Amino acid sequence: MIKTEKYAYSDDQQFYEGVVAFDSALVGKRPVVLVAHTWVGQSQFETNKAKKLAQMGYLALAIDVYGKDRRANNVSEAEALMNEMLADRQELLNRLLLAMNNIKKHELADSAKVAAIGFCFGGKCALDLARSGINIKGVVSFHGIFDPPGLDHEGEIKAKILVLHGWADPLALPKDINMLAEELTERNAIWEMDIFGHTGHAFTNPNANSPENGMNYNPLADGRGWQRMLNFFEEIFED
């Protein structure tokens, strides 16, 4: 039986509220997957992804980057909330690490087996976790944004990286794909990119319907990407 619960955590400045999902019929600890949200903030979209991951036997946390009750109701609010984070990528990373370190203490968490996925802005979050050099198993970016954080990260990237992206995504163009590949190669990451042709931004979101802006749901890419992610998890979480 899949259960979802609000998951509160905090730092010295504010409270955060995500959603944790797990299969209560399973016994024992299980791998952890963080689900980083789009620019809107933690929403039902990420909660649904967490529930699907719980069905596969994972402990999934749809994280909250913006803070409790800070969610966007329109494009301008989403842009303002996201830009607040983009202006301080160290603070963004701190909030990601806060969520990760909290869920690792959960009674069902196998703290040695942690991964992160993210969608759009959340894809950037997943990549930033990997770029920090922390020792997690892997990250997956779905139609993410690729610009580096500009922080003084050095050394090898320990997390394996899977990038699932649309070739026609206007928010991360082919030149950006190449730049990310060069960056990850330079830091000796184990990485893979699956680039879907005739596919734009937000291809996993059934509510995306703005082809004139390069944003449209693509069920074929969505299904293929999710399956590729599951295969990736089987690999990285293998004992």
Cα–Cα nearest to 180, from 171, 191, 168: 191
Q: How many domains are contained in the chain? A: 1
What percentage of the chain carries pLDDT values higher than 70?
100
**Average model confidence (pLDDT) across the chain:** 97
Q: Are 17 and 46 in contact (CB under 8 A)?
A: no
Q: Are 166 and 193 in contact (CB under 8 A)?
A: no
How far from 198 is each of 97, 168, 172, 212, CA to CA, in Å? Answer: 35, 6, 14, 13
- What's the rounded mean pLDDT across residues 218-222? 98
pLDDT of residue 154: 85
- What's the rounded mean pLDDT across residues 157-162? 98
Q: Are 108 and 130 in contact (CB under 8 A)?
A: no
Give the pairing of strands 191-196 and 209-210: unpaired
CA 219, 4, 130, 118 dihedral sign is positive
The conformational region for residue 143 under phi > 0 = left, psi -120 to 50 = alpha, else beta, is left
Expressed as residue numbers, the domain containing 114 is 2-236
89: its two tokens: 């990528």
Residue 32's pLDDT band, with cuts at 50, 70 and 90, is: very high
- What's the rounded mean pLDDT across residues 63-86? 97
- The neighbouring-strand residues paired with 210 are 215
CATH of the domain at 109: 3.40.50.1820
pLDDT of residue 239: 65
The 10s digit of each residue's pLDDT in 38-60 is 999 999 999 999 999 999 999 99
Angle, CA of 102, 164 and 223, to the nearest 5°: 95
Q: Are 112 and 72 in contact (CB under 8 A)?
A: no
- What's the rounded mean pLDDT across residues 169-181? 98
pLDDT of residue 65: 98
- Could you tell me how many helices (H) and strands (E) the chain has, helices first? 6, 10
Q: Are 194 and 76 in contact (CB under 8 A)?
A: no
